[in-house]
Amino acid sequence: MIFGNRILAAQAASIAALIVMSACGGSSPTSPGGGSGGGGGSSVKVKSTGSVGAVGATVTIGANGIMNPTQVTIAVNQSVTFVNSDTRSHDMQSDPHPAHTDCPSMENVGLLQPGQSRTTFGFGNSGTCGYHDHNDPTSALGRIVVQ
């Protein structure tokens, strides 16, 4: 009775868990969890691409600061051109007034003299951007929907 049984026990003890221990010298207290404080204040809703993109819509500021149309829809990364056809200037800024933090793409428009036009930076993600005339926050009201 030949019992030639060879067991090749290749035990590869593979320690997959590599624990990288960064020995931070000194006791630097990190921020404690459970911070239920308010927001930082700079809550951007729609990021700016930092450059003018393809113009997806044009809005005209008409008499008495009435926007035409009051709402436009563009695609992500597109821009919006503002044309001031009113007889007075309008300082076009993102909501909310006066922080203007929702949609920094609007910063590329700013103050438009009568007859002037300027284009926003691209809107980098989907969302809704309200805007207003910073010198008269009750006029030139409208929305840009980015989708």
Beta carbon nearer to Cu ion, 97 or 143: 97
Query: Rounded to 5 degrees, what are φ and ψ at 81?
Result: -95, 130
Beta carbon nearer to Cu ion, 47 or 134: 134
| Closest separation in Å from C-beta 95 to Cu ion | 8
Beta carbon nearer to Cu ion, 33 or 98: 98
| Closest separation in Å from C-beta 132 to Cu ion | 6
Contact positions with Cu ion (CB under 5 A) in 97-126: 97-98
- At 63, which amino acid appears? A
Tell me if residue 104 falls in helix, strand or coil.
Answer: helix
Beta carbon nearer to Cu ion, 93 or 119: 93
- Residues 6 or more apart whose CB falls under 8 angstroms from that of 89 comprise 111, 112, 113, 114, 135
| Closest separation in Å from C-beta 91 to Cu ion | 8
Contact positions with Cu ion (CB under 5 A) in 69-98: 93, 97-98
134 binds Cu ion, rule: CB under 5 A: yes
- Could you tell me the two tokens for 94? 């993102």
The burial class, CB within 10 Å (0-12 / 13-18 / 19+), for 73 is middle
135 binds Cu ion, rule: CB under 5 A: no
CB-CB contact of 125 with 75 (8 Å): no
| Closest separation in Å from C-beta 92 to Cu ion | 9
Beta carbon nearer to Cu ion, 52 or 107: 107
CB-CB contact of 110 with 91 (8 Å): yes
Can you tell me the distance from the alpha carbon of 92 to that of 113, in angstroms, rounded to the nearest whole number? 11
Q: Which residues bind Cu ion (CB under 5 A)?
A: 93, 97-98, 134
